[in-house]
Chain A
């Protein structure tokens, strides 16, 4: 079964672009990444899936329910972590968590206590006294305490220190192993690469690639770093060339024999040829068709 399935989902904001003809399929139990820079349409997609905004056209199902007809049924099994965690001023963390649980008609105290302990969150503090990172922790506990079938996370790690980020992803992987579907929206590509099995790349409101993360990373292009002196002029298939103190690095997508001949003609002290990381692939997708990086 698909946890999320959109068909030509479109949202227009008058003159400004939202999302266009979005087709997305996330299977139940997947750890799915949703990549794109700010303004690409990630949050619009998430807001449409969670019923905060209505689509202009197209359709979408979340956990088998139509987003237009069964908003409450979807939200009953969905934990949502917004990019900006804002709560009611004057309330303590424990009151926010209890309020969220009551809205779900659940008693989540035990799970909430465990999560707060793991994320080092002091529940006796008032939310308006908390730092951005600590408010994010409150939002994480709110999203996770009901052990939902689907977790929709919009830029979840902003403000979290590296240790808490690691703990947070450990928690997500545990939830995923228990069967929860994770939909992780982020522009931090290393997060996607480390945790997700599949990912979609969104650009200017449209999905431009959707595949396994390993497949997205797989490309004929190679990152070549050469130490020493070599004349690269005339060699076709070179992109993203950077030069430093005694070295030159570039992405190469041309004939490998020609590259080897060119390198053999130079005076090299060191050479490395590696697969490009997801960040470079991502930039590659954004540069295609005259797009911006």
Chain B
């Protein structure tokens, strides 16, 4: 646990900034809902008649006038993109930063196996992602209750669970990238998260690109699908889990044998 604690201490500022920023935006969106609720009829008509743009954000399948319809589009994007960026940043640096910042020589000459170091660093990433999601979940539920709406627990749980799984999958892939990198890899992590997000938008717009939903983890986080089906798409989640597990295994195999310069 020494390395887990050390990593958590090292990244606490970044964790609090990201959590506060995403939490603040989520709450702003929720606090806007009562004001928009009265004007929803017109807005709903407008949002559902914008062609590809409507489809891209799943607004053709959702009633934007309901709390969950509004929440899954507005808050879903904040939570999806913000959470994905945080998870990617968190994981893509965790191993490579030791070589980039030249601290690897200090860390890796202590009597701790490389496997143990990888495991503890991975645990630190997971703890941060789960802690952030729990805080955001609590803030969202609290904000919904504060604006006088009944908290739709089932839908809320499903959405937040899907986004948490998305972040873990992205983190696992970025963790793998981190094991292979020697220098800064922030750009790769953020780029990967952004590409995955846009792949889902493309998959939503055109049927010919629908297969992309099986590649990007945003595919199983589509608020419209989640709320209408009432469950996670097991196939997509399984494919995502396979990507994540493969990433973690590759990270172990690489880093255990890696020459540290």
Contacts and interface: CB of A to CB of B under 8 A. Distances in A.
Interface of A: 47, 50-54, 71-73, 75-76, 78, 80, 82, 84-90, 99-100, 102-104, 139, 142
A47 B114 CA distance: 15
Given A50-B109, A75-B110, A80-B105, 15 more contacts: A47-B260, A51-B109, A52-B108, A52-B259, A76-B111, A78-B109, A86-B101, A86-B103, A86-B105, A88-B101, A88-B103, A89-B101, A102-B2, A103-B107, A103-B111
B102 interface: yes
Interface string B99-122: 001111111111111100000000
Contacts, number: 63
Nearest to B1: A102
B111 A51 contact: no
A89 B97 CA distance: 12
15 contacts: A47-B260, A52-B105, A52-B259, A52-B260, A53-B260, A54-B259, A71-B113, A71-B114, A75-B111, A86-B102, A87-B103, A88-B10, A100-B106, A104-B111, A142-B106
A99 B110 CA distance: 10
B37 interface: no
A100 B110 contact: yes
A18 to B, nearest CB: 10
Contacts of B105: 52, 80, 82, 84, 86
Most buried by A among B10, B109, B111: B109
A255 B81 CA distance: 83
A190 B3 CA distance: 40
A52 B109 contact: yes
B183 interface: no
Nearest to A106: B111
A103 B2 contact: yes
Contacts of B10: 88, 90
B103 A103 contact: no
B254 interface: no
The B interface, classified by DSSP as helix, strand, loop or mixed, is: loop
Contacts of B103: 86-88
A87 B106 CA distance: 7
A141 to B, nearest CB: 12
Nearest to B108: A52
Contact of A72 (B102, B106, B112): B112
A103 B112 contact: yes
B257 interface: yes
Interface in B64-122: 101-114
A63 to B, nearest CB: 12
Contacts of A103: 2-3, 107, 110-112
A149 to B, nearest CB: 12
Contacts of B3: 103
A75 B108 CA distance: 9
A99 B260 contact: no
A253 to B, nearest CB: 42
Contacts of B106: 82, 85-87, 100, 139, 142
Contacts of A88: 6, 10, 101, 103
Contacts of B257: 54
A280 B108 CA distance: 37
A53 B99 CA distance: 13
A53 to B, nearest CB: 4
Contacts of B2: 99, 102-103
Contacts of A80: 105, 109
A72 B101 contact: no
Contacts of A86: 101-103, 105-106
Contacts of A84: 102, 105
Contacts of A82: 105-106, 109
A86 B98 CA distance: 10
Nearest to A76: B111
Task: Give 3 closest A-B pairs by Cβ, nearest first.
Answer: A76-B111, A103-B110, A75-B111
Contacts of A47: 260
B259 A72 contact: no
A273 B110 CA distance: 50
